[in-house]
Amino acid sequence: MSVLVPDKAKVSPFLVFFILHGMQFGVGVLGFQRIIAKHAGYDAWIAALIGGLAIHPLIWMVYKMAGIAGGDIVSIHEYTFGKFLGKLISLPLIVYYASFSIITLRTFIQIVQVWMFPGLNTFWYGLAFLALVIYVIQGGFRTIVGVVFFGVLLTFYLLFVFLYTIPYSDYTDLLPVMDHSFKEIGRAAFHMSLSYAGWDLLLVYYPFIQQPQSSQKWAQGGALFTMVQYVFITVISFGYFSEGQLERTIWATLSMFKIVEMPFVERFEYIGIVTWTLNVLPIVCLGLWAASRILKRTYNVKQKYSVYVLAVLILASLTLLQTREQENLLSDIMGIVGFSFNFGYLPLLFISVLIARKVKGNEKT
């Protein structure tokens, strides 16, 4: 059941902090405020807090399951349901993680088209971007992690840009707290699920961590860091925008970048978008790598070949998504699937693993 990975292909436990945070801090940061405010108003910052905290027990479950099964999600499925059924159940995850790359890259292309180059061709930009993604993946998992690491570090400065909005903000609008029902806040927390998605790739790269069980504190720290940043951006945004403005502002984060004035640059949002490429690239890399990795684990297809096939399918999907309505539909579907997988399937799988361990223990006795 255990997955054997050479030591030279593994990464240090502390890097899990950057991998987990980098996967969660993608294009969703640029426009999540309008969606959650639509359901819970200025109380939506509570939804961002709840959505982040809910992930921590799930991370503990993942480490517990991976420790028992001795490997990744495929090993967990095989340990619980048997070899044939375990591989069969793992197959939908190929589509899930590939779709994660699709929605991330297509949303970013749309942002570039709307804010910078309206005539940008989706196919050619997607082809060039995926060529870079394949180049990074061919370097191995450690290369991908290196891109994630530098992506997190080099984009961290953008958090300080939000401080420019404070003189023009009114935070009394956030009062009174809990002005909305638990049902409304719960809906907003549900819609935060896509923004927080991506941490579950831990189920795939777990065998690539040195002394993986010791990395749990870093994984929990990465999730906590993401939550703090989301709550910070939410509060800053609600102080700067009125509820009416948020309803009409699709990319609230980028709109706040427009307020920045510097002697050497007039349109800072251009710098923000270009910088955000360093966040998007590792997310697309990890999504495509995870899909090809599961394909290798289930049907022993060489990963260097499956990456090309999946990249072609992703490129074809990018060109088929022509309208914003189609992109929103895919985002909504991914949100529902991700929420169901994380908060529905994983707890049930955790219980199943515990039952399987007890049954196997009794058989040995």
- SS percent in the chain: helix, strand, coil, step 5: 80, 0, 15
The CATH code of domain 12-322 reads: 1.20.1740.10
Burial class for 226, CB neighbours closer than 10 Å (0-12, 13-18, 19+): buried
Bridge partners for 209 per DSSP: 11
Distance CA 328, CA 326 (A): 5
The amino acid that residue 221 corresponds to is: G
Number of neighbouring beta carbons within 10 Å of residue 279: 23
3-state secondary structure of 262: strand
The answer to whether residue 52 scores a pLDDT higher than 80 is yes
**Residue 226 CA: distances (Å) to CA of 95, 329, 336:** 25, 25, 21
Distance CA 128, CA 120 (A): 12
Q: What is the DSSP letter of 147?
A: H
pTM of the model: 0.93
Average pLDDT over residues 29-33: 89
Query: Residues 278-333: pLDDT tens digits?
Result: 999 999 999 999 999 999 999 888 898 999 999 999 999 999 987 878 888 888 88
Bridge partners for 11 per DSSP: 209
Q: Which long-range contacts (CB under 8 A, 24 or more apart) does 138-146 make?
A: 138/304, 138/307, 140/9, 141/9, 141/11, 141/205, 141/208, 141/289, 142/9, 142/10, 142/11, 144/282, 144/285, 144/286, 144/289, 145/11, 145/15, 145/18, 145/19
How many residues belong to the chain? Answer: 365
The answer to whether residue 207 scores a pLDDT higher than 90 is yes
Average pLDDT score, the chain: 90
Please report how the helices 182-191 and 32-40 are oriented relative to each other, as an axis angle in degrees rounded to 10: 160
Query: Residues 73-104: pLDDT tens digits?
Result: 999 999 999 999 999 999 999 999 999 999 99
Q: Residue 216: what pLDDT?
A: 95
